[in-house]
Each structure stands twice: as structure tokens, then as C-alpha cells.
């Protein structure tokens, strides 16, 4: 079975909540990433030289926001077209940036767990395993698209 209407609705509903406080959720997202994979710090220029995660850094917010948004968009496309088509950033560029930064499969898993953890905290009582499953599936398909591109460029 493909991505269902219910799954799309769960993602959209929680994205509305997330959007209301991007600065806070971005910070939480990066905190969870670094707890799981401290070495990721050295990949991001804005984290590399500071002891703490910067509270109000536009680039940090931008990476968090784009991961949240592109995952949500992937859910919509999986429902509409049955596949992920990137609309925000050209796939070729995404592939080369992540390849250049040394991103590997395990990083994608860490980012997935951080994404789900951030959403879970953000939506509180609205959270359900089904909601997590819907975000997880959309993310997996998006990550697979980027990873395939990275392999092609490697």
C-alpha cells in the first residue's frame, strides 16, 4: 500500500504545529543530532568553532527548516504522485553538498531519529505511532532519493 490520505493528514497537521516555532524546534533538532552523533558538529561551519549550539543562527534554522519542510513536502508528493520529486533544491546540488560534507548512511538515520523526537515533543498529546510512521516513511523516501544521487556522483 502506498502513502495514505490519513498519513498525509497526520504529517500536515503536525507540520502546522512545528511551523509556529521554528527557532525552538531547530535548536532541539540539532541538540538531539549532536547527542546521538557528536562528530556531526564538525560538519556544520556554524557549530564547529563554538562550544554550545548557537541560539539564534540563521544557517542552523535553515538546515532544520529545510529538512522539516522537504520531509513534509515528500509526504504530499508520495500521496499525490507515489514518489518524491524535489521542489525546493535541485537534486544534483543536494547530492554534491552532502557528498562533499562527508555525510554517510548512519547520519541519515541519526537525523531521522532527531526529526521524529523533535516532532514528538512539539506536538505533545497529538503524537501517535501512526504519526511517527508517516513522517518516518516520508523521510526515508526523501533520504533514499538524496542517497541515490550521492552514489551517482561519488
Taking the CB of residue 4, how many other CB atoms lie within 10 A of it? 14
Q: Judged by CB, which is closer to ligand HEM: 70, or 131?
A: 70
47 lines the binding site for ligand HEM (CB under 6 A) = no
Distance CA 88, CA 86 (A): 6
Write down how long the chain is.
154
70 lines the binding site for ligand HEM (CB under 6 A) = yes
- Residue 27: which of 59, 67, 54, 66 has the closest Cα? 54
Q: Pattern 71-110, binding to ligand HEM, x per CB under 6 A?
A: ------------------x----x--xx--x-x---xx--
38 lines the binding site for ligand HEM (CB under 6 A) = no
Q: Judged by CB, which is closer to ligand HEM: 19, or 125?
A: 19
Determine the interface stretch with ligand HEM among 24-32, 37-45, 116-124, 126-134 (rule: CB under 6 A): 37-45
Q: Judged by CB, which is closer to ligand HEM: 17, or 110?
A: 110
Compute the least distance from the CB of residue 35 to ligand HEM, in Å: 13
Total residues at interface with ligand HEM (CB under 6 A): 21
Q: Strand, helix or coil at 51?
A: coil
Report CA Rg, the chain: 15
11 lines the binding site for ligand HEM (CB under 6 A) = no
CA angle 110, 141, 94 (to 5 degrees): 75
Distance CA 83, CA 107 (A): 23
Using CB under 6 A, which of 17, 22, 36, 43 touches ligand HEM?
Answer: 43
Distance CA 5, CA 17 (A): 19
Amino acid at each position: 500500500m502506498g502513502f495514505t490520505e490519513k498519513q498525509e493528514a497526520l504529517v500536515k497537521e503536525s507540520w502546522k504545529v512545528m511551523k509556529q516555532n521554528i527557532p525552538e524546534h531547530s535548536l532541539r533538532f540539532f541538540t538531539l543530532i549532536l547527542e546521538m552523533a557528536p562528530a556531526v558538529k564538525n560538519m556544520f561551519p556554524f557549530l564547529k568553532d563554538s562550544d554550545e549550539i548557537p541560539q539564534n543562527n540563521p544557517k542552523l534554522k535553515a538546515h532544520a527548516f529545510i529538512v522539516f519542510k522537504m520531509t513534509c513536502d515528500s509526504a504530499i508528493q508520495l500521496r499525490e504522485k507515489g514518489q518524491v520529486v524535489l521542489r525546493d533544491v535541485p537534486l544534483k546540488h543536494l547530492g554534491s553538498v552532502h557528498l562533499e560534507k562527508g555525510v554517510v548512511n548512519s547520519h541519515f538515520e541519526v537525523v531521522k531519529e532527531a526529526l521524529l523526537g523533535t516532532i514528538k515533543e512539539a506536538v505533545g498529546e497529538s503524537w501517535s505511532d501512526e504519526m511517527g510512521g508517516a513522517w518516518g516513511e516520508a523521510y526515508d523516501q526523501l533520504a533514499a532519493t538524496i542517497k541515490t544521487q550521492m552514489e551517482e556522483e561519488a
